Structure 1
């Protein structure tokens, strides 16, 4: 039986002037690709930041592999959960390999240098993400899709079984969007990586998700398979659109053909 690896109970999240998410319950299953969708400002990114401890909780509890996250050290959490924020930027004058190596910090002591195991893991991750030939390249010379692969590689170097990604395809062209999502899908299928991400493109969300969560006004309105969530009535409620739905001829996933 597939187990819950990340659970939020009674979550209240927001900012000093406004609470975005209130009394929300959510859970994510091991080795599943879950995509969170919803209109702008509905709380998608706020929820992800709360789960990733980027945003402090106003109320509620988070459980990581059945353990209350409040009882775990930052190092213990970083060994189980990786978070990639939207629009993350690189420092100047660093190479791809140097960025990926940052993912090994949760396993190193103060002033400790990289071990042979660290080096081996970094090289493995570079290979898994197709970055070996770019290892010594300065990141400022990479394309948008390549930069996203570097962030994913850094997260993989943490050797965490769970990765959270906030809109990983933002600002990428169609080809690079597909490249990043196919990489995540391959890592999910081959390595059993649990992936939770926010996406704006509904058709890509339906194509790559095992499970979808639809949010509006800080609440979860629908959740289930893409066939459960990607329907005309749901899209009408979430986005206020009249959608004509169809089916992807290859993947057999639902697609939005037109909306008004």
Structure 2
């Protein structure tokens, strides 16, 4: 289990996160939501040290995660950030193979297992057909699937993604969420930041609600809806619709 224990982040005396304590349950999809600037991205960025924890600690199964060597951390947690300012001029397969870096030795020679995992990741995300194309020539939606394939190639138990559906159209988003469900069924732990509340409620086992640099609530989607905390934090109302596939929420 991934646990944040009284984690705070400060930059030049300004608090970015304040006293965050949360357990992310194994084998669940947990989505973090909150208004812009509330600290969602910073909370995730603590995992790859792009945000420096100034108090508290982060543990995996009671082991201090931030004290592990970088390669060991990458074997435990695969992280896909929201903003990628430089798109590599590399063939898709080469980019996905970068996901195996935590397992390669000094020579970086790939084993049959490495190659098999790369192939499986590309097949799973439906990017095999683009293997020889450079990533920078692809559409935003396909490129997002390539980056997703790369972090799957890390074969980490915990998958963390910040706004992963930004570049996806409706069909792409639906396919992506179906992939997440399959990963959950395989036992993976998935932690997301999503912008759309309706998506978060539909896909998640648990929701974490942030506001003003703190976690103000967390629980199942039903618990978060019934507590009215979403309405209070986002200053919104909603309409609920139901069919044979379940409940849907539209926020107004």
Instruction: Please give the range of the TM-score, normalised by the shorter of the 2 chains.
Output: over 0.9
Per-residue deviation, 1:168: 0.7
Per-residue deviation, 1:112: 2.6
Q: Which stretch shifts more, 46-55 or 21-30?
A: 46-55
**Other-structure match for 1:27:** 23
**Other-structure match for 2:240:** 246
TM-score, normalising length: structure 2: 0.93
> Structure 1 residues 14 and 198, CA, compared in 2 at 3 Å: closer, same or farther?
farther
Per-residue deviation, 1:141: 2.6
**Other-structure match for 1:124:** 120
Runs of 4+ deviating beyond 4 Å: none
Unaligned 5+ segments in structure 1 are: none
8 Å CA contact 2:141–2:167 kept in 1: the answer is no
Distance in 2 of aligned mates of 1:118 and 1:198 = 29
SS of equivalent residue, structure 1 residue 105? helix
Distance in 2 of aligned mates of 1:101 and 1:211 = 32
SS of equivalent residue, structure 2 residue 97? helix
> Structure 1 residues 120 and 86, CA, compared in 2 at 3 Å: closer, same or farther?
same
C-alpha offsets along residues 90-123 of structure 1, whole Å, 9 cap, x if unaligned? Answer: 5443111011100111111223322222112111
Per-residue deviation, 1:28: 0.3
> Structure 1 residues 71 and 92, CA, compared in 2 at 3 Å: closer, same or farther?
closer
Distance in 2 of aligned mates of 1:94 and 1:171 = 20
Distance in 2 of aligned mates of 1:84 and 1:233 = 31
Q: How many positions carry a matched residue from both structures?
A: 252
Please provide the CA RMSD for this pair.
1.8
Per-residue deviation, 1:197: 0.4
**Other-structure match for 1:208:** 203
Per-residue deviation, 1:30: 0.7
TM-score, normalising length: structure 1: 0.90
Distance in 1 of aligned mates of 2:90 and 2:154 = 19
Distance in 2 of aligned mates of 1:17 and 1:164 = 28
Query: Which of 167, 174, 180 is the aligned partner of 2:170?
Result: 174
**Other-structure match for 1:219:** 214
